[in-house]
Structures are given as structure tokens and as C-alpha cells.
Structure 1
Amino acid sequence: MVPHLITALTGPINELEQRMLESMPAIERWFRLEWMEHTPPFYTSVDLRNAGFKLAPVDTNLYPGGFNNLTPEMLPLAVQAAMAAIEKICPEAKNLLLIPERHTRNSFYLTNVARLVEIFSAAGLNVRLGSLDETITEPTVLNLPDGNTLTLEPLVRTKRRLGLKHFDPCTILLNNDLSAGIPEILQGLHEQYLLPPLHAGWAVRRKSQHFQAYEEVAKKFAKLLGMDPWLINPMYAVCDDINFQDDTINENLQVQVETLLNKIRRKYKEYGINEKPFVIVKADNGTYGMGIMTVRDAKDLADLNRRTRNKMSVVKDGQEVTRVIIQEGVPTYEQINDAVAEPVVYMLDRYVIGGFYRVHADRGIDENLNAPGSSFVPLGFAEPSHLPKPGAKPGASVPNRFYMYGVVGRLAMLAAAYELEATDPNAEVYD
């Protein structure tokens, strides 16, 4: 099922789809060569926006939740990808310690954890759950909506290893994005594989670094296809020393927003796009759709109401916002049952394993959909019949649309690989 896309079957996005299909062998070879040089993040989810005139990633998550939104039909692909990933990292792996978020009472999130346990158990690992929550001092059983249970256990740290009582894992998988900082208990592990690495967490990571890397990837890919990288790349700027509680909003932010809006206007004029551009201002670190606002006119920043100031001042775990990324707004013209929708692509290792549409009936085409009230409709990546069909009319074929989403999702994942290499504190530096 492809949701209704309110654009004609002509124009940039369908030309892009056609070009990708015609270039499929070259694209797949290009990815193959890139993965020979770079290590993909262990798992990744990418939020995409399809405006009809451009298709671009707007967020890349290196600690994805939401695996519970993948359909059972997608699980064989996920298990196969998990096997490949584990084999590459630690072929003799037997025990996997999974460390989830601290907010363990959220039933949707717990169902996501259960799905991860299912995937990695099927991949041949003994999976147990360890909690960073210091109030968990003994095995604690959590009930799931489907009647199943999960058991959280207190972590046990020795000098160089981390595990549970009577459980010594060779691999530790974090499903906790470390927004609150890097716990001491996770530091200084030299004899175990910690996935993703600590510098992938929001205590260190910055969205602007990711999109800087993505810009590099998009330019390489666009050169391969002979196209304008803007068609797959959201422009951005960064603004430091922000204080949203200050009555006089940072003047530099207004200047940066207006500068970026002007750049977008020029691109719209170049492509004959009769839309009013907008930007998304969001915290440069953090997740969960927090610290985000849509700005259509830089003047609006001079008169933010108290509610908006409060919303923009802090993100997950109470972290104060002092630096923002200003990102070109990519409207979404995809709809399901008259509600706006955006595709989210899920990957394990280098492989696309599935995804879903995030749908929100109360949000507009230029607003953040990762908010209370959103729902999820599965994508159809995993069915065997969904291999791309090069002869199909652009925009009309489910597999072709999904192939395009998978390509752009993988570009964002490759950018994350670049980003993690550039920010690795243990990387060797050559003069």
C-alpha cells in the first residue's frame, strides 16, 4: 500500500524515482564500495519527507525504538540482518545484554524491547535485559499488553566487564540514547563490544554533525546519478548560545532563519515551486520530537509565547537547549485516510528491513509528526514481490516507491557512519 501522494505523476520526485530505477546496478555497487570503507551503525531508523519535488531525510536515529511497528512479515529480514551484523562483530557471540531506556512503564516502548529480544534470540543469541535504573535492585517482571512479560535485571560491573548475575555477555546492545549523559558503569569496557558506541549517544552527538556528513554523502550520490543534490538534501544552519527564556530572542537566530528561507526561496524559484518555504528549528541534540518548532517568517521569533519558549528550552531528560539546528522544512504531501504521513525506514547493519508510515490527523504538512496522537501504518518492504519493477510508471508502483525510500534511508545511514568516524574519540589522527 502506498498512501495517496498529492502531486501529479510528473515532476522531480518521479524523475528521481525513474533515475534511481534505471541506475539500480550502479547504486547498489556504489553502496557496496562505500561499505567496504565504512562501518554502518548497528541499527538505524530514518524519518523521510516526500514533498513531491524533493525527498529528504529529516532525522536519523541511532537508538531506534518502534521495532514493534514492524509487521511479522518483516521479521525474517530483520533476523537475517541481525545474524550478518553479529557475525561480523563477534562470530562466536553467545550472550547479548540489551540495555533499554529507563522509562520502562511505557507499554509501547516495552513492546519494542520485546521485539528486539525476539529478533536477536532468533538470530542465535541468549538475550537478557539489564537496567540503568538504580532502583532496579533485583529481577523485575514487567507485563506486556499481549500478556507476555519482560524481566529487567540490575547490572553487575567488574573492573573491565559489564553483565548480570551469572550472565557474562560478549556484546552489549544499547537501546538507550544516553540523553542524560554517559553513565560511569558503561565507561572503560575494553573486553566487550558496546553497540552503538558511546559517542553515538545524545550526550555527545549533534544533529548538525550528522547533516554535515549527509551533505557530503548526498553530493557524492548526486554526482553518481547526475542530479542536483538539493533534491535529496535539506539545507541547514546552526545557531549557538540560544536562550529561549530570554525575552529578546537571540537576534542571530532570526538572521540565520531569514538567510536560510532566502536560500530555499531561490531553489523554489529555480524549480518553479509555488510554495511558501518554512524552516524547522530544533535542538541540536535530543530526540522524541522534543524541542522542535516550525518557523515560516523570521519575524515570528521576536514574539514567541511562553508555552513555545518552555517547549523549546528543554528536551528529553531535562537537558537545556543552548544550540539549535535550523533545517529546511520539507513538507509531506503523502496522506493516509486524509491524515498527513511520513515514511520511516528501519535498517539493521547495512540492510533495509522494513518501516512504517508515521501518521498524524491533527498535524499539517509543515509540522513535526513525531508527537502525541500519531499512529503507525506498516510499509511493505518485506514481501518477496516487492522487488523494484523497472518498467512500472513512476509514482504508481509500491515496490518502486519503497526502493527509493530505502535508497535515501541508506544514504542517511551512510552519513551516520561518516559522522561516527569523524567524532570517534579513539580514532587515530594522522598528520
Structure 2
Amino acid sequence: MVPHLITALTGPINELEQRILDSMPAIERWFRLEWMEHTPPFYTSVDIRNAGFKLAPVDTNLYPGGWNNLTPDMLPLAVQAAMAAIEKICPEAKNLLVIPENHTRNTFYLSNVVQLKRIFHMAGLNVRIGSISPDIKEPTVIDLPGGEQVTLEPVIRSKRRLGLKDFDPCTILLNNDLSAGAPGILEELHEQYLLPPLHAGWSVRRKSNHFQSYEDICKRFGKLLGIDPWLINPMFNKCGDVNFAEDQGLECLRSNVDALLTKIKRKYKEYGIHEKPFVVVKADNGTYGMGIMTVRDVKDLDGLNRKTKNKMSVIKDGQTVNDVIIQEGVLTNERVNDSVAEPVVYMMDRYVVGGFYRIHADRGVDENLNAPGASFVPLAFEHSTHLPQPGMKPGASAPNRFYMYGVVARLAMLAGSYELEATDPDAEVYT
């Protein structure tokens, strides 16, 4: 089953799928050469939207949750990728400490932590879960849906290392996006690998930096394939010094929204697209689907109500929003069981290991689906080969559709790699 594309404009996307399949050797060689020069993020998930006329990533997460949405059939790929990733970083690794988010009572999130523990256990590591939450003062067992349990233990910081009682890990895997900043307990560790690095956290990361890197990569990739990079790239602008609560900086927002809507209209006209353009305004350092609004007309910004202003003012961990990215809105014209859907692709090291569809029965094609009420359906290829099937009609084959998603997701992951290199505080700067 391939999710149904509800759009008359499947032509451009089928053409793109065909071009990607025909160029597979060149694409794989291109990625191979890139990974010789750049280190992939340790693990990544990418939210993708398929409009039928363009296919683009709209968010890239360097601390992905949701691993529990991967089916058992996908686990062997994740385990192999985990082995490859660990071998590169610390071949003699024996103990792995996973540090999760601090919201300890979210059992759905903790099921994701258990899945990560399972993956790395099967990759040959002793895995324990250490919490940096001040609420965890002793080993705490939490019951999870489906009968599983998770034990959270308080981390212990010695002078130069981090561990648990009677557990000294060589590698520490963060599944905490550090929205509130990097706590001192994680800094200046000695001979321990912290993955991903602290500068991958949202206290440093900016979506605008990520999508600038992605845009640059798309231009080169578009040249390789002979396609318009716009077909896989969401255009964007950004604004700093915005304060929704105080109505400050909204003039910058209006002018940038207006300019971007004009650029999108021009592209739609070029491709004969009759949809209404829209943009998505997001916190530049936002996560968890917070601090997001859809704008279809610049006039929408004139009468923002208090509820919208409050929603846009503060994001996860009480962080105030001052910088926003204005991103070209990409419709999602995919449906699963009559609900609007978008694929989320999961990667570890440089490998695609699986994914799922995020579906939302109460959201429209131009709205954010990462919201309460979302549900998850495994990507439809779990019983078929993971390899593309040349010769199949575009749009008809799950592996071919998924291969196309995997290519776009890997481009976003590569952008994450460029982004981390640019913000690495330990990188040598040559002048």
C-alpha cells in the first residue's frame, strides 16, 4: 500500500521520482563522496511533506524521539547502523549511558527510550538510562504501555566523568534536545564521547542555519540531477528581535511574510499550480511542534489574538521566542485512512533505518501535524524489499516512493552535518 496522493499535480513528483531512480548510481556515489568529507549526525529524523508538485523536508531533528514507532521489521537495519556508528566513534565501547528528556512521566516518550536501549543492546552494548532531572534522586521504575518497564537512575558526576553507580560508560547518548541550555553536568567530560555534541542542542541550533545549509546542498544536488532545486527545497526568510507578547518586531515579520508569499506565487505560476500559497512561521530554535503558526495572507498578522500570541511567545522549557524562521509552506497531499499524513524518516549514522507516517484526522493539508491528536502508522514498506524497484511506474511502488523520501531525508541529514561543523566550538578556524 502506497498512501494515496490526493492531487491532480502528481506529474512533477512522479517525474522527480523517475529522475531520482534513473540517477541512483550517481546519487549514491555523490553521497559516498560527501560522507568522506563530512561526519553525519549520530542520529536524525526528518519530517517530509509531499505536495504532489514538490517534496521537501520541513523539520530536521538531531535528537529524535519516536523510535518506538519503528516496527520490529525495521530493527535489524537500526541495529546494523548503530554498530557502524559506534565502531567509528569508540570501537572498544562496552557501556552506553542514555540520557533522556526530563519529562519523566510521558510514557509514550519513555517507550522511545526503551526502544533505543533495545537497539544498542542488540548492537552489543550494556545500556543503562541516566536522568539529569532533579526529580530522579534514586533508581525509579516506571511502568509503560504494553507491559514494559523502564528504570531511570540518577547520574553521578565525578571530577571529569559522568556515569551511574557502578557504571562507567565510554559513550553517552543524549536523547535530550537541551532546549533550556547545556547543563554544566554535561560539560568538560574527559575521555567520554557525548553524542550528539552539546552544540547540536536548541540553545545553539537555529533552523535558519540548517535550511541555509540545505538550500546550498540542494543547488548542487539539483545540478547533478538536472532539476530545479525548488522541487525539493522550501524557501525561507528569518526575523530577529521579535516579541509577540509586546507586539515588537512584527513589521519585519510582515515584510518577510509578504516577500516570501510573492516568491511562492511566482513559482506556482511557473509550474501551473493553482493552490493558495502559505508560509509557516516557527520559532527559529523551536521543537516539539511548539511556536508554530500558518499564515496564508499578510493581513493574518494584523489581528493576532492573545491565544496565538501566547502560543508564539514561549516554547519548550519556558524559552522565550525572539527569532523566527518564515518557511515556505509545503502542502501534504498524502492520505492514510482519509487522514492527512506526512512521512517521517529515521536515520542512524549515514543510513536510513525506517520511518512512519504521522497522521492527524483534525488537521488540514496546510497545517502542522506535529500536534496533540497525531497518531503514527509505520511506513508501508515493512514487508517489501527496502531496495528500489527499477521499471515500476512512478507513484505505484512503496520502495520507490520510500527511496525518494530517503534521498531527500539524507540531504537534510547532510545539511545537519554542515550545520554542526559550522557551529563546532572546537573546530579550527583558518584565516
TM-score, reference length from structure 2: 0.98
After superposition, where does 1:37-48 map in structure 2 within 5 Å? 37-48=37-48
Instruction: Tell me how far apart the structure 1 counterparts of residues 227 and 315 of structure 2 sit (CA, whole Å).
Output: 37
- Residue type matched to 1:103 in 2? H
**Secondary structure of 1:244's aligned partner:** coil
Instruction: Say whether the 8 Å CA contact 2:10–2:52 is kept in structure 1.
Output: no
Per-residue CA deviations over 1:122-169 (Å, capped at 9, x if unaligned) read: 000000011111121111111111222111111111121111111000
- Tell me if the contact between 2:83 and 2:123 (Cα under 8 Å) persists in the aligned partners: yes
Decide whether aligned partners of structure 1 residues 360 and 91 sit closer, same or farther in structure 2, where only a CA change above 3 A counts.
same
TM-score under structure 1 normalisation?
0.98
Structure 2 distance, partners of 1:328, 1:160, is 45
Residue in structure 1 matched with residue 417 of structure 2 by the alignment: 417
Aligned pairs (5 A) from 1:208-223 = 208-223=208-223
- What is the root-mean-square deviation in Å for CA atoms of aligned residues? 1.1
Check 1:249–1:35 CA distance in 2 against 1; reply closer, same or farther (3 A cut). closer
Counterpart check, 1:280 vs 2:277:
no
Could you tell me which amino acid in structure 2 is paired with residue 262 of structure 1? T
Per the TM alignment, residue 247 of structure 1 is displaced from its structure 2 partner at its CA by 4.4
User: 1:10: how far off?
Assistant: 4.9
What displacement does 1:380 show? 3.5
Residue by residue, what CA displacement relative to the aligned partner does 1:162-219 show, whole Å, maximum 9, x if unpaired?
1111100000000000001110000011310000000000011110010011011111
Whole-Å Cα distance in 2 between the matches of residues 332 and 207 of structure 1? 20
Q: In structure 1, what is the Cα distance between the partners aligned to 2:9 and 2:240?
A: 42
Aligned residue pair count: 431
Q: CA separation in 2, counterparts of 1:286 and 1:195?
A: 20
CA displacement at 1:104 relative to structure 2: 1.3
Q: CA deviation at 1:91?
A: 0.4
Whole-Å separation in 2 of the counterparts to 1:308 and 1:10: 34
The question of whether the paired residues in 1 share the 8 Å contact of 2:242 and 2:248 is answered with no
Indicate the residue corresponding to 1:126 in structure 2.
126
Match of 2:292 in 1: 292
Taking the aligned partners of 1:319 and 1:262, their CA distance within structure 2 comes to 32
Q: Which amino acid aligns with 1:48?
A: I
SS for the counterpart of 2:147 is coil
| 1:272–1:13 distance in 2 versus 1, CA, 3 Å | same
Per-residue deviation, residues 20-77 of structure 1 (Å, max 9, x unmatched): 0000000001100100000000000000000000000000000000000000000000
Matches within 5 A, 1:176-255: 176-247=176-247, 250-255=250-255
Any idea what the Cα deviations from partners look like across 1:333-361, whole Å, max 9, x if unmatched?
A: 00111110000000010000000000001
Query: Is residue 313–residue 320 contact of structure 2 (8 Å, CA) maintained in 1?
Result: yes
How far the C-alpha of 1:2 sits from its partner, in A, is: 1.4
Write out aligned runs for 1:377-392 (5 A).
377-383=377-383, 385-392=385-392
Query: Identity, % of aligned pairs?
Result: 78
Amino acid at match of 1:221: F
C-alpha separation in 2, matches of 1:81 and 1:35: 15
Residue in 2 aligned with 1:65? 65
Confirm whether residue 258 of structure 1 aligns to residue 258 of structure 2: yes
SS at match of 1:188: coil
Partner-residue secondary structure (3-state), 1:99: strand
For residues 2-25 of structure 1, the C-alpha deviation after alignment (integer angstroms, 9 at most, x for no partner) is: 111013475211100000000000
Say whether 1:351 aligns with 2:348. Answer: no
**1: CA distance between counterparts of 2:392 and 2:252?**
48
CA distance in 1, matches of 2:62, 2:381: 20
> 1:320–1:377: structure 2 CA closer, same or farther, 3 Å change rule?
same
Note the C-alpha offset of 1:386.
3.3
Q: Distance in 2 between matches of 1:208 and 1:381?
A: 32
Q: Within the alignment, does 1:369 sit opposite 2:369 as a pair?
A: yes
Structure 2 residue runs without a partner (length 5+): none
In structure 2, what is the equivalent of residue 400 of structure 1? Answer: 400
Structure 1 residues without counterparts, runs of 5 or longer: none
CA contact (8 A) 1:9 1:394 kept: no
Cross-structure match for 2:271: 271
Q: 2:413 is matched by which residue type in structure 1?
A: M
SS at match of 2:385: helix
Separation in structure 2 between the aligned mates of residue 289 and residue 378 of structure 1, nearest angstrom: 20
**Residues 248 and 302 in structure 1, CA contact (< 8 A), matched pair in contact too:** no
Instruction: Tell me which amino acid in the other structure corresponds to 2:14.
Output: N
Q: Give the Cα separation in 2 of the matches to 1:10 and 1:119.
A: 37
Label 1:10 to 1:369 Cα distance change in 2 as closer, same or farther (>3 A). closer
Q: Secondary structure at the match of 2:302?
A: helix
Work out the CA distance in 1 between the residues paired with 2:383 and 2:309. Answer: 45
Residues of 1 paired with 2:248 and 2:42: CA distance? 43
Partners of 2:340 and 2:361 within 8 A in 1:
yes
**Contact preservation (8 Å) 1:345, 1:355:** yes
Q: Contact (CA 8 Å) 2:384, 2:399: kept in 1 or not?
A: no
Instruction: Extract structure 1 runs of 4+ deviating beyond 6 A.
Output: none
2:341 and 2:315 map into 1 onto residues whose CA distance is 24
Is 1:380–1:386's contact at 8 Å kept on the other side of the alignment?
A: no
**What CA deviation, in whole Å up to 9, does each residue of 1:284-317 have, x standing for no partner?**
0021100000000111101101100000000000
Between the aligned partners of 1:386 and 1:168, the Cα distance in structure 2 is: 38
Mapping for residues 90-101 of structure 1, pairs under 5 Å: 90-101=90-101
- CA distance in 2 between partners of 1:233 and 1:176 (Å): 28
What's the offset of the Cα at 1:248? 6.5
